[in-house]
């Protein structure tokens, strides 16, 4: 039956040729390591976010008087609503963590170098988009936690020189976080960000297919044995995807309080600031840096400079050597950068 359907389609649009060109006949280096599966894990997480997000949208109401009630209804009344909501919230954290892993691994393996500059640059924008998705979604439940964490997070934008206050007002749509903020974060989260994701991921994968995937540093692509992408490498990808799904479900079933602490269980109250409100873990490094550097101007300047430096890295670091151990200056800067990021995150958590 399936064969008949495929033959029917093939007769019209030669689908078998497409499958052979892009899947079974698409050859990749046989010595690809685990890190090369991170992109597929990100695709899997994005897929989960799209499906669970659409399901949540069926009951969610983007109105300050009804938002909290609607997510409580999803959690307590809708069949499996609690599961869908927990998966959506936890998968965001896994997605951001894997974004870091994917970025750091392509950084250390020198995958951003010629001819993959465009892939790195499109990836950098996807990185920023991941954060925008997380920030905009966080406010939607309109709980004490989401309200105040968004107030703190949007406040940090105020440190931008000259136009900081305008930016905060533009982001919030008002002086403080209120209905205008919820409406624009909702539009961002359910339309703008997903559309940008689709377009940019398509571009990212297009670049990957045009340049071909790199072989790990230290091996010459021409000398490496090749295996078909489907089924051989796709099964390797699947193993790593299952591993991260395992982590996701451990958190979903056994540690839900990590993501839903008590402040997430009461509706937003603009007149009561809970003690110890902090942004999510992935914003802590930026937050802590702005707190530690007394001159706000300098704090924001350093962050913008780091972001621009990372975006343009393939145009700055143009040497052809990809092996990290043969690039001591790069390795020192990269390790110091990662350590600084971890230290700031830990400080943000404990201070
Ligand atoms: C939604 C986010 C993203 C998705 C879905 C995604 C997907 C992928 C996929 C499927 C691959 C091929 C397999 C692999 O090497 O993992 C890949 C490769 C790559 N990605 Fe991403 N990516 C994302 C974000 C990023 C980010 C944030 C960066 C870095 C700033 C980045 C830079 C690269 C580079 C340089 C490669 C080439 C690897 C090579 O051929 O050695 N990507 N990406």
Residue from 43, 46, 204, 229 whose mutation best tests the ligand 1 pocket (most atoms within 8 A of CB):
204
pLDDT digits 0-9 by tens, 157-179 = 888 888 999 999 999 999 999 99
Mean pLDDT of 302-316: 97
CA angle 157, 140, 197 (to 5 degrees): 75
Q: Is residue 49 part of a domain?
A: yes
Q: How far is CA 196 from CA 134, 139, 189, in A?
A: 14, 20, 11
Is residue 19 included in any domain, yes or no? Answer: no
Which residue from 37, 30, 77 is spatially nearest to 58, judged by alpha carbons? 77
Q: Which of 92, 93, 56, 90 is nearest to 75 (CA)?
A: 56
Atom of ligand 1 nearest to the CA of 109: 41
Q: Ligand 1, closest atom to CA 99? A: 27
Residue nearest to atom 26 of ligand 1 (CA): 123
* 39 CA from centroid of ligand 1 (Å): 5
Q: Are 6 and 15 in contact (CB under 8 A)?
A: yes
- Tally of CB atoms within 10 A around 55: 19
Interval between CA 8 and ligand 1 midpoint (Å):
35
- Domain range for residue 194? 27-350
Residue 198, C-beta contacts closer than 8 angstroms, at least 6 positions apart: none
| Average pLDDT score over the chain | 95
Q: Give the distance, in angstroms, between the CA of residue 47 and the centroid of all CA atoms in the same chain.
A: 12
Q: Is residue 166 part of a domain?
A: yes
Q: Percentage of the chain with pLDDT > 90?
A: 90
Give the C-alpha separation, 159 to 202, whole Å: 34
For residue 188, tell me if it sits in a domain: yes
Alpha-carbon radius of gyration of the chain: 22
327 is a domain residue: yes
Q: Encode pLDDT of 137-158 as tens digits.
A: 999 999 999 999 999 989 888 8
CA 320 → CA 209, 317, 327, distances in Å? Answer: 21, 9, 10
Q: What is the pLDDT of residues 12-26, one digit of tens each?
A: 999 999 999 999 999
- How far is the first Cα of the chain from the last one, in angstroms, to the nearest whole number? 63
Give 46-90 pLDDT, tens digit per residue: 999 999 999 999 999 999 999 999 999 999 999 999 999 999 999
Total structural domains within the chain: 1
Residue 305 to residue 290: CA distance in whole angstroms: 14
For residue range 115-134, list pLDDT tens digits in order: 999 999 999 999 999 999 99
| CATH value at residue 152 | 1.20.810.10
Q: Which of 32, 39, 134 is the best mutation target for the ligand 1 pocket, counting ligand atoms within 8 Å of the beta carbon and taking the most?
A: 39
* Domain contains 8: no
CB half-sphere exposure, 291, CA atoms < 13 A: 16
Note whether residue 7 is domain-resident.
Answer: no
The structure's pTM equals 0.95
Q: How far is the CA of 187 from the centre of ligand 1 (A)?
A: 27
Residue 4 lies in a domain: no
Q: Coil, strand or helix: which one is 70?
A: helix
């Amino acid at each position: 039956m399936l064969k008949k359907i495929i033959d029917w389609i093939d007769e019209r649009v030669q689908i078998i040729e497409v499958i052979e060109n892009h899947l079974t006949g698409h050859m990749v280096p046989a010595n690809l390591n685990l890190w090369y599966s991170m992109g597929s894990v990100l695709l899997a997480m994005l897929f989960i976010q799209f499906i669970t997000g659409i399901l949540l949208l069926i009951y969610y109401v983007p109105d300050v008087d009804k938002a909290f009630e609607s997510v409580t209804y999803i959690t307590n009344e809708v069949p499996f609503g609690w599961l869908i909501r927990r998966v959506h919230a936890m998968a965001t954290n896994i997605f951001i963590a894997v974004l870091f892993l994917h970025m750091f691994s392509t950084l250390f393996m020198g995958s951003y170098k010629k001819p993959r500059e465009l892939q790195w640059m499109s990836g950098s924008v996807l990185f920023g988009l991941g954060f925008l998705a997380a920030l905009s979604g966080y406010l939607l439940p309109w709980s004490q936690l989401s309200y105040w964490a968004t107030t703190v997070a949007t406040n940090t934008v105020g440190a931008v020189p000259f136009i900081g206050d305008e930016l905060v007002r533009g982001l919030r749509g008002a002086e403080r976080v209120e209905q205008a903020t919820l409406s624009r974060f909702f539009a961002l989260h359910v339309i703008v960000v997903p559309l940008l994701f689709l377009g940019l991921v398509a571009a990212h994968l297009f670049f990957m297919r045009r340049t071909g995937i790199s072989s790990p540093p230290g091996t010459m692509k021409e000398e490496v044995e090749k295996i078909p992408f489907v089924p051989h490498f796709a099964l390797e990808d699947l193993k790593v995807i299952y591993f991260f799904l395992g982590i996701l479900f451990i958190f979903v079933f056994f540690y839900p309080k990590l993501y839903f602490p008590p402040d997430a269980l009461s509706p937003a109250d603009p007149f009561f600031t809970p003690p110890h409100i902090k942004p999510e873990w992935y914003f802590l490094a930026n937050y802590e840096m702005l707190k530690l550097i007394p001159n706000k101007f300098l704090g924001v300047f350093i962050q913008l400079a780091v972001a621009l430096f990372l975006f343009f890295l393939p145009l700055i670091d143009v040497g052809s050597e990809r092996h990290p151990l043969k690039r001591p200056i790069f390795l020192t800067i990269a390790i110091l950068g990662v350590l600084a990021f971890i230290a700031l995150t830990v400080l943000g958590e404990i201070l």
